[in-house]
Structure formats: C-alpha cells, structure tokens
Structure 1
Amino acid sequence: MKKVFALIVTLLIIISTIPVDLVYATYNMTYLYFGSSSTYLSYVNQTNNALQTVSPNYIDVNVNGQLVTKDIDEDFIKSIHDKGMTIVPFLSNHWNKTAGKKMLENRVASATQLANLVHAYNFDGIHIDIEGLNEESRDAFSDFVRLVRQRVPAGKEVSVAVAANPYGSNKGWQGMYDYRELAKYSDYLMIMAYDESWLGSKPGPVSSKNFMENAIKYPLGLGISPSKIVLGIPFYGRIWKVSNNWESMTSSIQGRGISLDNIGTLLDYYDADVTYDREKNSMRGRFCVSKTHKKLNLYSWGVPLEEGNYEIWFENDETIKERIKIANKYGLKGTGSWSLGQEDTTIWQNYDDWLKGHYFKDINGHWAENDILHIYQKDWMLGINSTQFGPDVSLTRAEAAFSLVRALGLDMVNSSYFKDVSSNHWAKRAIETAYANGLIHGKGNYQYAPDEKITREQMSQLLYNYLKSQFSQPTKVNGFCDMKQSDWAYTAVHTMNYHGILKGFGDNTFRPRENITRGQMASLFVRISSYIQ
C-alpha cells in the first residue's frame, strides 16, 4: 500500500512540474513512392493543406554505386511550388547493401552530383534515405552527409532518414546511423518509427506507442534538439495468415505490408473483428476467409488470399492522432509519413488541427478545456474517438481504472480475478493491474462491473484511500447540504473538499451519487497534481 502511495506522490510531483504550454509540431512532410506524377498531384490535393514538403523518389543508387535519376517531372515540381510547398526528393539505395557501400566509396562525386541536381531542377533540397548497411559504414555515411551539406546551397534543405533505435543499438542497421554527427549536418533527422513488426516476424503492431516514443527518447537523450527531429508515421499495416488458435503463421503471408486504404476493404468484406489495443495504441483486425468467400487480392497485383485465418495490425485516424500527440509532447519539428497515397484520406480532415494541438471538437469553450488538454497530453485519459473527448459523458469504472494505471505508469499484469471482465474487454489488463496494486476493489463475488458509471462519492473515496495520510482532518462541519455524517463517503468527501481537491456546485451541493463526468475527472487529476506540488 505504501509503495503504491509513494508512486502516486512521486508521479504527481513530476507531472506537476511539466509546463502546460507546449511547443506544437508545425512541420509535416511525406514520401511519394507508389504511383506517378499524375497520381502524386491528386494525392497532394486531398491533404487539406496539411503538408509543407513532399519527397518523391527521383534519385536512386544503382548496383555500381552510381546515382541515377528517374521520372523527374518538372511540371509536377512547378505545381508543388505554385501551392507554396517545397519539394525535396529522396535518394535511395532501396536496401541494396552493395549499392550503398559503393556509393559511399565514391561519396565526394556523389555529393557533388546531388548538389548539381538540386540546382538543375530547382529542388528545395535533398533527403537522404540510405538503408540496409551496418556499423562498418557509420563514419563514411556521416561524412557523406557532411559533404552533401557543404555542396548544397545554404537555405536548401538537407535531411536524413534514420532507423528507429528505441534500444540504443550500435550494431547492424541501426548502427550505421550516428545520430549526433548526422544532426550536425542536416536540417532534421526523419525517425522511421515503424516496422517494429516486419515481414517474417510474429504478428504485432507496425509501430506501438512505446516503440515510437522510445525511438524519440533515444535522440533526445543524446542531446539532439527536438527541432531537428521529425517523427515518421506509417500509412500502412501488416497482415499475417495464422493458425486456428491465432498464433503460429502458416503461409507466405507473414507480415506483408498493406496500405491503409486497402485494409479497410478487406476488413469490411470479410466482416472482421476489429479491436483497438489501447496499451499498444494500434488497431488489430481478425477475419476468416472461407470456401464461399470471394478471394480478394492484397494488392492490385498478386495472388488472391487463401482460405484461413488472418490478422492485420494497422493504424487509423485515432492511432495516428496519438502519434501526432507524441510529436507535440516532445516539441518535435513535426511529422513525416510513408507514404502518401496509402492512407485513409479521412485523416486529412483533422491532421492539421491535431498538429496544432486542437485534439477535440467538443471541448472548445468548455469549463474544463485546459485541464482536458493537459491530462490528455500526459496520456492519463484518452478521447472517446478521434475528434471527441466527451467532457460531459459519465466516466465508467473501467475508464477510472485505466486512467489510474496510466497515471502511475504501472506494469501491466496478466491475471483474471474479476469474473465479469471478459478476456477481450478493452480494459481487462488495466483493471486487473489496478486491483493487483490495491488501487481498486470489486463489488463482491469477484465482480467489478467495468461498464457501470462511477459516482462522485465513489471516486472521492477511491482517491482518499491513498491520499489521506497527507491530509489533516478538517475541524469545521461539512458545508454540503446534501451530505450527512452518516453517509459512507462523508469523511472522504469532506476532507478532500476541505483541502481543495474536490469541489461542489454553486447551490452548496456535492451531489455524491451523481456520476462523475470525464471533464470533472480531468480537472480532478490536475488539482491533485497541483496540491502535491
């Protein structure tokens, strides 16, 4: 019990020292890879002015290490400039290790050629995306970027795509990127915060919240300015064919990439069971292809799906919004995406608002607006969907447990104490974790009633149980006209009110049996952190 309380106090002190004012991400770039110039322009036109930079694959490295241009469209370049946007093509070896190493052996000439291309086609800079090498090429690659920066005119962008490195590895693919050196010579590092799961891996998110956030913490821990970091967001998911018990893989479809726009078609047609994994902050879809089903293709080319069970992990507007929130949380330069044309275009209705921190459409002018934004940015509470917080919606017992566990940063447990919390309930692990740590109690007979609303007096008692040692008992009589000393939560409500944690209403009532709203809960969280400070 004391350990739990100490965790609460420590966390609230830390959170309360973080300023509410945030530096919101203002930059948004995307790669252009699938399609042609005609489709590229249509993709850009659907983004609702949420992009500043596009990066088409105009320059490749061939097997001899030579730079070759492809499909450069000067009309498209002009169209992008006419929109007030910048065009910064990316150089790629497409994971060909031999090509990348040979180019680095001739890096002076390659850097000069890149600078000449920037001038010849009026590009706004160059984006370097060399992948698949290892730590042996680390210094040569950093020197290559230095040479490019020397030759590309000041005012023109030089940016570098780097592998996500959430574990701080100095070996393998991650080892080829010396973040500190690369940051010296580039305008920003585009952290490719995806492929946590990959072709051939076990089913899982393309980029879970922890993976993405740790990928950002690594360069920040090296002292790299947030203004030099762009967070890469995947516009694709991955699909696996799995066995009947939804575990082992059974075919060549073992984590194949699939665009978000095509995922929706598959999920709808096969009537998939789609769930939002709130811990991983990613979507998962499961469906079965039967003998009677039409066998859809994963792509416009290739063989149709076989009969069997399939699992897809992917992003939607809600999870992409959460990733934009990470960029804002750490004050990054902005976001990037791989790649335009693969997304569900509905995200562009709100993308620019999310970048600016306008996360919810139903809190503008609400009395709890600032508290909601503060708590949402700290990940203590989530919205009810991608555009609504539901400030006047009653909080459920499941949401209460979920928020407390997130606030404390407790490690999730796998247990099954409560019989009325099903294994597929979205808050299952949070509820069991809260119980295991003494944060909550059930209603008896192994029941928790997760979807029941939680009342103001219940929340008062819950918080009082773990904060009461910090409070002196009030000497004056309770001032709420709708509460008596014989009420079961009287001491909790009276004490918390006396110390400014809980507040009543203008008519001198507390309304103890009224459901607490999500807006009230956000405000309560903020008041607790202020009091502890």
Structure 2
Amino acid sequence: MRTKRRWRKVVVTLAVAGILTIATSTGPHDAQAQASSTQGKFNMSYMYFGNPSSYTSQVDKSGQTLDVVAPSYFHINADGSLQLSDTLQASFITDMHQRGKRVVPFLSNDFDRILGGKAIDGREALADQIVKAIKDNDLDGIQLDIENVDAAYRDKYTDLVKILREKLSNDKEVSVAVAANPTGTTTGWTGLYDYKALAAVSDYLMVMAYDESYPGDPTPGPVASLPFVEKSIQYAVSQAPSNKIVLGVPFYGRYWNQNAAANGSGISAQTLSKLITTYGGSVRFDSASQSPVATFTIRPTDVESSINGNKLETGDYTVWFENEQSLKEKLKLVSKYNLKGTGSWSLNQETADTWDYYGLWSDGFYFSDMQGHWAQEAVLAAANRGWMLGPAADRFAPDAALTRAEAATIIVRMLGLKNEAAGSSASFTDVPATHWAWQDIQIAKQSGLIEGISDDRFAPDQIMTREQMSMLLSRALHLTSQSGSTAAKRFSDVPAGSWSAEAIAAMSSNGLVDGFANGTFRPSASLTRAEMATLLSRVQPLLTK
C-alpha cells in the first residue's frame, strides 16, 4: 500500500445560549438503539505525505476524530535490520500526546520483496530493535506493514508479530496491515496474511480495502468499489473477531491517460479537486461500484500541472477516486459489521470537508442535520454514550427545544438509574403507561429528580427552560454552591430569593453553566437539544469522580 502506491473529533468550544461546553447526551424517542460504545469507533490514519514539520497541523485538521496516527518512521535496511527515518521528530510525538492521540509508526518494506523476506527471517533481532526504538522515542507501539512477500513466509510473519506482542507491554499497540482478500486466497503475497492467527497475537488487523485497481493497471477502474470492500470485510470477519478488524479506506484515486505511461498512478483527493477546476472536468457517479469517476482533458495550450513532481501529459484523463458519497457508503459498513473502526491512507490527501462527516458516519450516526453543526462533536459523544440519539435514524433535531420528557430520560440514562423503583401504573394522567418516556419519568420522579407541574400532570411535551435544567442537574449531581469560588457568577435576572437561584449558583460555581455577555442568565429561555448535549459534556467528568 506504500511505495508502489506512494502514493482515528473537532473540538468545539462555544458560548451558545450562555452554556459553554463540549459534548454528551440523548433523547428518548430515539429511532436507533442505544450506542454500545461509550468512546465511539476507533479511527487511525497513516502519515506519509507532506513535510514532517506540518504533521501536527495535518492532524489538527481532523479535530478529535483520530485516536492513532501512524507516521512513516520505521523502514528496513538491506540486511533486514531496522532503519529509523530522519522524519522522526520528538516534538511531533509530544504534540500528539498532549492532544490525547497515540503515535504508532508503521514498519514498511516499501513493497520490496527481498527486504521484506530478510526482515521476517531476522525477526528476533528486528523485534529487539523495534522494541528499543519504541521505548527510546516514547512511541505507543508498532504497526507492521510488510507487503509483496510470498505466502511461503506466512507462518514466519505471524511469528514476528507474536514475538513483538510478547516483548512489548500490553499498553503498547501491536497491529498488522493486511491485504484485502475478497476471495479468501492463500497464495501469492495476499496469502502472506493468516488473518486468524495474526488476530490472535495482535490488537487489530487494518484491512487495506483499496487498490482494487493498481499502478500499471491497463484498465481504468475503481480504487475500492463497494462490492470489493464488503467482500473483503466479510472474509475478514469470517476469520477474526469483528472488534479486531479495522476497515482501511482510501483518500486517493488513480488516473489514466491512454497517451501516457503513468496509467493507474495515484492522485490525492485534494489534487484531483484542483485539476477538475483547472481543466473544466466533470464527475459522474458509477452506481455499480458506488464510486465517482472524473474526466478532464489537458490540451497543448493549457497550463501545465504535475503530480508528485511528474508533469501531466496532454490527453484525455479518466480518474476513479473517492468522494463524500462513496466514503459514506463504506463507513456504513463499520456499524453494519460491528467493526473496531477505520483507518485511512493517508492523512493530507483528503479534502478539507472530509472531517465534517467522517466521525459521525464511522460511528454509525447518520444525522444529516448534524454535519458541520457547531455541536457535532457534542452530539456524537452523547450518542456514543447512549444518552441521546434522535427522533429518526438520520436526524437529531439539534435546534429543537428540549422537552421535559426528553430531559427526564436523559438524566436517567446519564445516571444509569434502573426501573426497580418504577410503579406499575402511571402517576401522571398525561403520561400513560404507553408513553415512550413513561418508565424514565417514573424513575426520575421517584428518585426525587423531577416533579410534575401539578400533583397529577407532568406536561411531557412542555419545553425545558434553562433554570429548570439547572435545578434538575444540581439535584442529580448533588451540587452545592462553592463558596468563595471565582467561577461563581451573579446574574442580574436571577434574584437571590428566586426558586432557581441556588441551583443556578451551584451550576455556575461548579463551572457547568455561564451567562450572556450582558450579565444575564435568561432563566426562562428554552434549551435546545444541541445545547443539552453540549452542557452534558461538562457534566460527564463529574460522574467519574
């Protein structure tokens, strides 16, 4: 996936309606099942292109989406020993750790069959060298990416991975990039990878579900058609646990010009976008492969362009690539097969808008109204914790006002309260036992968290105000005002003797709510679902204390 082809959550910190926060909560009438993961799907990306001095900025463009970055730090010398790249920078590793991301370099043989064989044959010494390099450079593990080595090395390669797993502590990652194998072959270099045995001695397998077409391929075709990708996943999960399978997706395409010799050469999504604009190209979507195809013509009189230093010849170009539509279809497969997550080749090839949808879709939340929304990360965290989803599978309704029924359900889920205390009949005439939130409202009431608007009425569809939510959360978290706290705010529209003053003071002094620039709190203003998700992101750390 490397030399022959050389070609893992945006932080939002906003003061919205006076609540300054970041992420997590959910509604009750959700069309989807509660999320099983509290952290979201795993995401990693390789780092190969661009100057190492720009690596940090490359990662920052992806926001909070990536868990692991895999730079090209480890190569193989002619004798099969480890070669450290001069691109390794301690400052980048420090930057990533400060951002809560792990740095797991990949070991590449640069698609050289001989180098790969020597590395595997000398696996004991190579493993010791890798372990030392990881410790010396404060790295977080190793991903092995040896390619183009015959299947005769199959057992030896598995043994190399096993040796590394035994030599490295459990907090260090050992993962393996494996060729896509949609037909289940055990021959050729695709047969090098014993999925079942490798999964048993590694943290996960990164399935390189791309390069369906390849450099030198005479026939233009998709880099990763959806049928090719899905068959590759189906084989993988037949051999290894789904939670040890990471789906690799491409951020690049391949181009053909029948008048030139560079057929099937790689092109980044970024570069292609510029070429389409420069030469007035067009794009169609191939329904069979679920892949976009671009065409453009470079005439002798046109401005010159190059890719990776290679001038593009004149002629008619056909480019198979990936875009938002095709990537979303692939990301759906992560939740369909309950995979561990995704990997991508490679960072700095994607278009800037990729991260607007990547985290949501790879985690299995297809909220069309959240893409690019200011609270996207907050909502994603809420959904992953199982606290909030949406009124439909493809909609979250972030700007809708939060109702009392939704609020009660969110708090019950957040606290993990069970239904032992719930009675067998409704205690409110307007919340019958058939109401979607009946049980959670019962639990919230009997736990002393929320009251009705009268003895027999709850008003489940009435909107939740800012002061009501302050009261509800202060009760749920047993908060008291922190005397002497500099974080406490006095709001001009919250009189000291008002019924909500103490709760608002408690929330404010604990750093959970803020007011508006004019010094007001707007206690009777409604709270939106997006704001609730954002508020609960501040609340969440208090639940673990």
* CA shift for structure 1 position 361: 2.5
- In the other structure, the counterpart of 1:320 is 327
Task: Give the one of 203, 206, 215 matched to 2:223.
Answer: 206
Q: 1:348 is aligned with what amino acid? A: W
Task: Give the one of 305, 309, 315 matched to 1:308.
Answer: 315
Q: How does 1:106-505 map to 2 (within 5 A)?
A: 106-201=122-217, 202-222=219-239, 224-242=240-258, 250-299=259-308, 301-303=309-311, 305-362=312-369, 369-370=392-393
Contact 1:22 1:329 survives alignment (8 Å): no
Describe the superposition over 1:308-340 as per-residue Cα deviations: whole angstroms up to 9, x where unpaired: 111000111221122111111111000000110
Q: Normalization by structure 2: what TM-score? A: 0.61
Runs of 4+ in 1 over 4 A off after TM superposition: 19-25, 363-368
Q: Find out whether 1:53 has 2:53 as its counterpart.
A: no
Q: 1:99 is aligned with what amino acid? A: L
| Distance in structure 1 (CA, Å) of the matches to 2:65 and 2:300 | 44
**Any gaps of 5 or more consecutive residues in structure 2?**
1-31, 371-378, 380-387, 396-545
Task: Specify whether residues 367 and 147 from structure 1 end up closer, same or farther in structure 2 by C-alpha distance, changes over 3 A only.
Answer: closer
Contact 2:81 2:125 survives alignment (8 Å): no
* CA shift for structure 1 position 360: 3.1
Q: Find out whether 1:69 has 2:101 as its counterpart.
A: no
Q: 2:338 is aligned with what amino acid? A: G
Describe the superposition over 1:359-391 as per-residue Cα deviations: whole angstroms up to 9, x where unpaired: 233499999724x68xxxxxxxxxxxxxxxxxx
- In the other structure, the counterpart of 1:83 is 99
Q: 1:369 is aligned with what amino acid? A: A
Q: 1:147 is aligned with what amino acid? A: I
Q: 1:257 is aligned with what amino acid? A: G
| Distance in structure 1 (CA, Å) of the matches to 2:320 and 2:293 | 5
* CA shift for structure 1 position 354: 1.5
* CA shift for structure 1 position 356: 2.7
- In the other structure, the counterpart of 1:35 is 50
* CA shift for structure 1 position 286: 1.0
RMSD, aligned CA: 2.0
| Distance in structure 2 (CA, Å) of the matches to 1:150 and 1:127 | 15
* CA shift for structure 1 position 291: 2.9
| Distance in structure 2 (CA, Å) of the matches to 1:168 and 1:226 | 17
Task: Specify whether residues 85 and 367 from structure 1 end up closer, same or farther in structure 2 by C-alpha distance, changes over 3 A only.
Answer: closer
| Distance in structure 2 (CA, Å) of the matches to 1:367 and 1:99 | 52
- In the other structure, the counterpart of 1:432 is none
* CA shift for structure 1 position 52: 0.6
* Greater Cα shift, 77-86 or 111-120: 111-120
* CA shift for structure 1 position 275: 0.6
Contact 2:253 2:321 survives alignment (8 Å): yes
Describe the superposition over 1:463-517 as per-residue Cα deviations: whole angstroms up to 9, x where unpaired: xxxxxxxxxxxxxxxxxxxxxxxxxxxxxxxxxxxxxxxxxxxxxxxxxxxxxxx
Describe the superposition over 1:168-201 as per-residue Cα deviations: whole angstroms up to 9, x where unpaired: 1111111111111100110000000010001121
| Distance in structure 2 (CA, Å) of the matches to 1:336 and 1:367 | 27
Secondary structure, counterpart of 1:353 in structure 2: helix
Describe the superposition over 1:234-290 as per-residue Cα deviations: whole angstroms up to 9, x where unpaired: 111000013xxxxxxx42021110111000011111111211112211110011222
* Greater Cα shift, 119-128 or 352-361: 352-361
Contact 1:63 1:96 survives alignment (8 Å): no
| Distance in structure 2 (CA, Å) of the matches to 1:320 and 1:29 | 15
Describe the superposition over 1:35-81 as per-residue Cα deviations: whole angstroms up to 9, x where unpaired: 23211111001112111100111110122211111122111111100
Q: 2:51 is aligned with what amino acid? A: S
Q: 1:103 is aligned with what amino acid? A: A
Contact 2:295 2:318 survives alignment (8 Å): yes
Secondary structure, counterpart of 2:270 in structure 1: helix
- In the other structure, the counterpart of 2:534 is none
* CA shift for structure 1 position 23: 5.4
* Greater Cα shift, 321-330 or 185-194: 321-330
Contact 1:288 1:309 survives alignment (8 Å): yes
Task: Specify whether residues 325 and 23 from structure 1 end up closer, same or farther in structure 2 by C-alpha distance, changes over 3 A only.
Answer: farther
**Any gaps of 5 or more consecutive residues in structure 1?**
1-18, 243-249, 374-533
Task: Specify whether residues 23 and 237 from structure 1 end up closer, same or farther in structure 2 by C-alpha distance, changes over 3 A only.
Answer: farther
| Distance in structure 1 (CA, Å) of the matches to 2:301 and 2:105 | 46
Describe the superposition over 1:113-160 as per-residue Cα deviations: whole angstroms up to 9, x where unpaired: 111112111111111111110111111101110001010111211000
* CA shift for structure 1 position 351: 1.5
* Greater Cα shift, 159-168 or 27-36: 27-36
- In the other structure, the counterpart of 2:111 is 95
| Distance in structure 1 (CA, Å) of the matches to 2:307 and 2:36 | 40
- In the other structure, the counterpart of 1:473 is none
| Distance in structure 2 (CA, Å) of the matches to 1:358 and 1:153 | 34
Q: Which has the higher contact order (CA 8 A, sep 6+)?
A: 2
| Distance in structure 2 (CA, Å) of the matches to 1:367 and 1:58 | 43
| Distance in structure 2 (CA, Å) of the matches to 1:125 and 1:368 | 41
| Distance in structure 1 (CA, Å) of the matches to 2:268 and 2:390 | 40
Contact 1:29 1:51 survives alignment (8 Å): yes
Contact 1:237 1:257 survives alignment (8 Å): yes
Percent identity over paired residues: 40
Q: How does 1:509-524 map to 2 (within 5 A)?
A: none
Number of positions where the alignment pairs a residue of Structure 1 with one of Structure 2? 344
| Distance in structure 1 (CA, Å) of the matches to 2:307 and 2:112 | 25
| Distance in structure 2 (CA, Å) of the matches to 1:111 and 1:308 | 49
* CA shift for structure 1 position 20: 6.2
| Distance in structure 2 (CA, Å) of the matches to 1:330 and 1:367 | 22
| Distance in structure 1 (CA, Å) of the matches to 2:286 and 2:109 | 35
Contact 2:334 2:363 survives alignment (8 Å): no
